[in-house]
């Protein structure tokens, strides 16, 4: 049984005609309702505490988001909208991720999915951007390390956009390893293959930028022949996926070529790899802006994590250029 975290407050993050809007969650929940939420243990996401948020964000950033929202909101930048309901929604999005991580690490389940918004992976320690207010996966990773008993956390980001915020928060850390498959060039312009972290975090960032038109064969090769071997060597206590669905061929904001079933196969591979190292798997919603594609891809992801399996005979060739760029510690 997969824990599924939701909250009605996430519909009240009112962004108007913005691509990241409440209709995204309505589409997902309608698709899950058509299946009677089969295989899911549905949970209400709690609020994140200020203490949880400030492990990943500056106190000033947390305070400014709260005050701006309570004053009625507006545009933080050209991409990022805040409304009066955004503060509560953002607390639930980050709090649900923390609760999911804690309950997974307590052994209550092996898999969890957070169907919450606003998304988070572009939010930096002291800056909201790219539709994101708080970095939900970073807050959850910090919570897992602080109180959940995890010694290391592995974050895979398969959103079509590079998670600059997650990378920036952990770029000098070895207790969180961040790996990203993202379209290049594309917003926000970060994530070159040559950047592998800094200081104590050198080698603990794995960037895999792929060109426009990339499809399932490359994603599966990267997961099977780059990501999975690194996870086996890193031995995290928790695996988190920043699950954007804007690499789908129908998405209006990018130009990759995944299908809904691609996400089933990717999720099954990640669930199988996490199980190999005896780590639970947490999947957190990020982007995805074609509502039908988003809903079908989330359903496919849930099917995948419910049936862990590493697909057989995935060709290694598409992954070889990225394996060659890996930090030497992952080539042993």
Catalytic residues: 122
Instruction: Encode burial over 146-157: b for 16+ CB neighbours within 10 A, e otherwise.
Output: eebebebbbbbb
Are the C-beta atoms of residues 46 and 103 closer than 8 Å to each other?
A: no
d(C-alpha 205, C-alpha 254), whole Å: 23
d(C-alpha 231, C-alpha 272), whole Å: 11
d(C-alpha 97, C-alpha 23), whole Å: 21
Quote the tokens at residue 168.
């920036």
d(C-alpha 45, C-alpha 41), whole Å: 12
Backbone angles phi, psi at 77, to 5 degrees: -150, -175
Are the C-beta atoms of residues 231 and 239 closer than 8 Å to each other?
A: yes
Q: Which residues contact 71 (CB under 8 A, 6 or more apart)?
A: none
Are the C-beta atoms of residues 181 and 173 closer than 8 Å to each other?
A: no
Are the C-beta atoms of residues 329 and 29 closer than 8 Å to each other?
A: no
d(C-alpha 292, C-alpha 191), whole Å: 28
């Amino acid at each position: 049984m997969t824990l599924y975290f939701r909250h009605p407050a996430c519909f009240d993050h009112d962004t108007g005609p913005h691509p990241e809007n409440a209709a995204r969650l309505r589409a997902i929940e309608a698709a899950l309702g058509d299946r009677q939420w089969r295989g899911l243990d549905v949970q209400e996401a709690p609020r994140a505490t200020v203490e949880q948020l400030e492990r990943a964000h500056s106190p000033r950033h947390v305070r400014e988001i709260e005050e701006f929202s309570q004053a009625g909101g507006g545009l933080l930048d050209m991409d990022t909208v805040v409304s009066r309901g955004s503060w509560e929604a953002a607390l639930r999005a980050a709090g649900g991720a923390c609760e999911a991580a804690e309950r997974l690490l307590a052994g209550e389940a092996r898999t969890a999915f957070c169907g919450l918004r606003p998304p988070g992976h572009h939010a930096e320690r002291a800056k909201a951007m790219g539709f994101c207010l708080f970095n939900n996966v970073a807050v959850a990773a910090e919570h897992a390390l602080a109180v959940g008993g995890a010694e290391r956390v592995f974050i895979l980001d398969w959103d079509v956009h590079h998670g600059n915020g997650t990378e920036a928060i952990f770029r000098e850390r070895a207790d969180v390893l961040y790996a990203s498959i993202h379209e290049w060039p594309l917003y926000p312009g970060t994530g070159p293959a040559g950047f592998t972290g800094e200081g104590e975090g050198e080698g603990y960032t794995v960037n895999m930028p792929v060109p426009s038109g990339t499809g399932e064969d490359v994603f599966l090769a990267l997961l099977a022949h780059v990501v999975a071997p690194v996870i086996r060597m890193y031995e995290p206590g928790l695996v988190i996926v920043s699950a954007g669905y804007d690499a789908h061929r129908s998405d209006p904001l990018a130009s990759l070529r995944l299908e809904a079933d691609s996400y089933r196969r990717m999720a099954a591979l990640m669930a199988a790899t996490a199980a190999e190292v005896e780590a639970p798997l947490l999947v957190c919603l990020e982007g995805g802006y074609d509502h039908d594609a988003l809903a079908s891809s989330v359903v496919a992801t849930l099917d995948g994590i419910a049936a862990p399996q590493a697909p057989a005979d995935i060709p290694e060739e598409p992954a070889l250029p990225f394996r060659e760029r890996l930090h030497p510690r992952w080539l042993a």
